[in-house]
Amino acid sequence: MAEVPHCFNDIVGHRGAIRLLRRAVVSGSVAHAYLFTGQAGVGKFTLAHAFAAALTCLQPTPDGDPCGDCSSCRRFAQGAHPEVHLIAPYSEQTLIWQLWEGHNTPREAKPHQVGVIGRTINFAPTFGRRVVYILTRAETLTEPAANSLLKTLEEPPPYAVFLLLAPMLEDVLETIRSRCQWVPLQAVGVEEMAQWLEQRHGVSADMALRCALISQGCPGRAWSLATQPQALKLWDALADLAYQIATGRHGQAPALHLAEQLRTLASTDITTAEDADAPAEAGGKGKTPKRGALLLAMDALGAWFRDALWLSCGGGAQSIVYRGDEARLQEAASRLGTARLMHALNAILEVRRAVEGNANIPLATEVLILRLLG
Ligand SMILES: [Zn+2]
């Protein structure tokens, strides 16, 4: 995993959001809570992390960047800050006992996972200027957990700041939303991202453009594709699967078999942007594919079908993601036609959304294949 930037200058895109956050640091008028929204990999965690570094810094620069030298910044440089608390889902949910002690804590929970807010919020910071809580997937807060936060979000101690991360505004309860300043993050442009990969990460121009196109505006995703050859291989394998599904070349292989194939592909050991966005807490995981890799896989399928749709509408090959695969895309386009391709694309988007939430992975992949074949 790339080191998470501690500084706004290292972040690609998101200029408006960065301006807002810098202004808060410089003016000192910081909200009690912020809600960062945007698709997985767009940079919510990266931005929240840089903001946390600036908020805790004892002497931020006149631009609102962390100084890099104070006791707080030095803690950050060491990789962990005792006053910046990450709260990630436990078994896919963010539960009340993770926030406050004394709420049916499971026996296997580790001490550091329990009552993170309750244990720490009444202690003023000693290393830095503030205490920051980052809820990496606020959309997974259970209702009791969300309700237990309301009073604290409204009137936290003056040094405490909450940063909540979620895909969309609607994913978080209205009562939580209304207590947060909203920081929406948009997709980063293809050219800006390709340049960033090339200049900042030394990726070749060809590869940078391909990864930027594939990543759909998410730097975290572009970066994981550019730096992990197996990610691009997975991408190509999914083009093969999409082609089989779209043209009926899977022969007699039943839908369940294709779903299994999709899950196997998505079990490739890849670190994705989602994993960085939401470092998972250990908690009863089986051998299911990682959600991040499955989302990447579904995006690959989606991109392939979208390319076919684009060609079937008479679009030019220069705008497609799967450059070099035009012959197979064209075949799928003539076989399925615009309406069925739209139908397939909708199915992928809907199931993707369910997977990004908490859908059961085996079931979701089966539903997806059945809808694509239907
Ligand atoms: Zn500092």
CATH number of the domain encompassing residue 340: 1.20.272
Distance 182 CA to ligand 1 centre (A): 25
Distance 61 CA to ligand 1 centre (A): 8
Q: Report, as an integer, the average pLDDT of 177-204.
A: 92
What is the rounded CA–CA span in Å between residue 130 and residue 115?
19
In this model, does residue 289 exceed pLDDT 90?
no
Task: Single out the residue in 149, 184, 219 at which a domain terminates.
Answer: 184
Q: Which residues surround ligand 1, an ion (CB under 5 A)?
A: 57, 66-67, 70, 73
Alpha carbon 167 to its chain's center: 8
Distance 17 CA to ligand 1 centre (A): 21
Distance 22 CA to ligand 1 centre (A): 14
* First and final C-alpha spacing in the chain: 39
Domain shared by 356 and 284, yes or no:
yes
What is the rounded CA–CA span in Å between residue 275 and residue 263?
17
Provide the token pair at 176: 């939580």
The percentage of residues in the chain with a pLDDT greater than 90, rounded to a whole number, is 55
What is the pLDDT at residue 85? 95
Domain hosting 269: range is: 228-373
Q: Report, as an integer, the average pLDDT of 72-82.
A: 88
More confident residue, 363 or 279: 363
Query: pLDDT tens digits, residue range 134-182?
Result: 999 999 999 999 999 999 999 999 999 999 999 999 999 999 999 999 9
Provide the token pair at 51: 């903001």
Distance 58 CA to ligand 1 centre (A): 5
Cβ(330)–Cβ(269) below 8 Å: no
Q: Which position has the token pair 């309750």?
A: 118
Cβ of 367: how many Cβ atoms within 10 Å?
18
What is the rounded CA–CA span in Å between residue 21 and residue 284?
37
At 39, the amino acid letter reads: Q
Distance 64 CA to ligand 1 centre (A): 10
What is the pLDDT at residue 270? 65
What is the rounded CA–CA span in Å between residue 239 and residue 86?
36
What is the rounded CA–CA span in Å between residue 249 and residue 180?
50
Distance 32 CA to ligand 1 centre (A): 21
Q: In what order do the strands lie in the sheet with 160-166?
A: 84-87, 131-135, 160-166, 33-37, 181-184
Distance 66 CA to ligand 1 centre (A): 5
Q: Collect contacts of 93-100 with beta carbons under 8 A, ≥24 apart.
A: 93/140, 93/141, 93/142, 93/145, 93/358, 94/135, 94/137, 94/138, 94/140, 94/141, 94/142, 94/145, 95/142, 95/145, 96/142, 96/144, 96/145, 96/148, 98/145, 99/145, 99/148, 99/149, 100/148
In this model, does residue 336 exceed pLDDT 50?
yes
Sign of CA dihedral 63, 65, 70, 71: positive
Distance 287 CA to ligand 1 centre (A): 42
Domain shared by 167 and 235, yes or no:
no
Domain shared by 147 and 31, yes or no:
yes
Domain shared by 16 and 114, yes or no:
yes
Report the chain's mean pLDDT, rounded to a whole number: 87
Cβ of 186: how many Cβ atoms within 10 Å?
13
Domain shared by 98 and 167, yes or no:
yes
Provide the token pair at 292: 């991040």
Q: Report, as an integer, the average pLDDT of 53-63.
A: 95
Domain shared by 266 and 318, yes or no:
yes
Q: Range with the lowest mean pLDDT among 16-30, 117-131, 189-203, 219-233?
A: 219-233
In this model, does residue 211 exceed pLDDT 60?
yes
Provide the token pair at 278: 């939401």
Distance 353 CA to ligand 1 centre (A): 39
Domain shared by 362 and 274, yes or no:
yes
Residue 212 lies in a domain: no
Provide the token pair at 259: 């779903």
Domain shared by 308 and 246, yes or no:
yes
> Into how many domains does the chain fold?
2
Residue 201 lies in a domain: no
Distance 71 CA to ligand 1 centre (A): 7
What is the pLDDT at residue 1? 37
Domain shared by 13 and 122, yes or no:
yes
Considering only CA atoms, which of 167, 220, 196 is closest in space to residue 3?
Answer: 220
Distance 54 CA to ligand 1 centre (A): 7
In this model, does residue 279 exceed pLDDT 60?
no
Provide the token pair at 322: 């799967």
Task: Single out the residue in 154, 184, 214 at which a domain terminates.
Answer: 184
Distance 45 CA to ligand 1 centre (A): 20
More confident residue, 227 or 150: 150
Q: Range with the lowest mean pLDDT among 247-261, 278-292, 337-351?
A: 278-292
Q: Report, as an integer, the average pLDDT of 56-66.
A: 95
How many helices (H) and strands (E) the chain has is answered by 16, 5
What is the pLDDT at residue 321? 85
Distance 50 CA to ligand 1 centre (A): 12
User: Across the chain, which distance is largest between two alpha carbons, in Å?
Assistant: 66
What is the pLDDT at residue 126? 94
Domain shared by 164 and 100, yes or no:
yes
Buried b (16+ CB within 10 A) or exposed e, 325-337: beebbebbbeebe
Q: Report, as an integer, the average pLDDT of 65-69.
A: 92
Q: Report, as an integer, the average pLDDT of 32-55.
A: 93
Task: Single out the residue in 126, 150, 184 at which a domain terminates.
Answer: 184
Distance 56 CA to ligand 1 centre (A): 7
Alpha carbon 124 to its chain's center: 31
What is the pLDDT at residue 266? 80
CATH assignment at residue 154? 3.40.50.300
More confident residue, 73 or 80: 73
